Amino acid sequence: MPPYGDNITDYQTLSINTNNLDRYQIRWMAEDDIETMTKIDRDTWGDTSWSSKDFFKSLNNLSWNCWILENPNSNQPILGYGLQYQLDNISHVANLTLHPNQCGRGLGGILLRHMIEYARQNDATKITLEVNTSNTRAFKLYANHGFEIIEYLERYYSDTADAYRMELLFDVTY
């Protein structure tokens, strides 16, 4: 695996409302993580959660990059995960989920900034994602990082759940 599991303190370009950043790190996802991730995903997303097979397929697809945010010194080391894929020069955030007891502390931004930076370093011209219109916390996180709404997707998740498609354009004038 490429050595991209940097310490997150490299990405402190935006404010983070949590202390002791050096206790967290981002690393590549491994097969051993899938059981925990599947549980976190089920606890968060219920019926629409990803199965272990979904995570396994992402892990083994070369277009995908799957990241784990962890506190290696904790007895619950996996705090969350972010999965992105890139087709041509467009990167897409497919899943960004924190453990339910880790939400609301600024940790999502650590993963998001890592994914943005990774896409940028891989010559992406933009990064896109979809978010439920009722998911205020996630929407704010994306908007705070420069994502803008480009499309309203009616009934994207279900008969009653619409989505925004958002994108962050990179400045590619080198």
* Residues at the site binding ligand COA, with contacts judged by CB under 6 A: 44, 80, 96-98, 103-109, 131, 135-138, 140-141, 144
User: Which residue lies nearer to ligand COA by CB, 97 or 128?
Assistant: 97
User: Which residue lies nearer to ligand COA by CB, 123 or 167?
Assistant: 167
User: Which residue lies nearer to ligand COA by CB, 71 or 173?
Assistant: 71
Task: Output the residue with the shortest Cβ distance to ligand COA.
Answer: 108
DSSP bridge pairs for 165: 130, 151
Q: Measured from the CB of residue 101, what is the shortest distance to ligand COA in angstroms?
A: 11
DSSP bridge pairs for 86: 91
User: Which residue lies nearer to ligand COA by CB, 51 or 104?
Assistant: 104
**Contacting residues for 172 by C-beta, under 8 A, at least 6 apart:** 125
Nearest to 68 by CA among 110, 104, 103: 110
Nearest to 29 by CA among 114, 92, 102: 114
User: Which residue lies nearer to ligand COA by CB, 123 or 160?
Assistant: 160
The SS3 call for residue 67 is strand
Q: Measured from the CB of residue 140, what is the shortest distance to ligand COA in angstroms?
A: 4
Q: Measured from the CB of residue 57, what is the shortest distance to ligand COA in angstroms?
A: 19
Q: Measured from the CB of residue 44, what is the shortest distance to ligand COA in angstroms?
A: 5
Distances (CA, A) of 49 to 65, 128, 171, 174: 19, 20, 34, 40
Q: Measured from the CB of residue 131, what is the shortest distance to ligand COA in angstroms?
A: 4
Between 107-121 and 136-144, two packed helices, what is the crossing angle to 10 degrees? 50
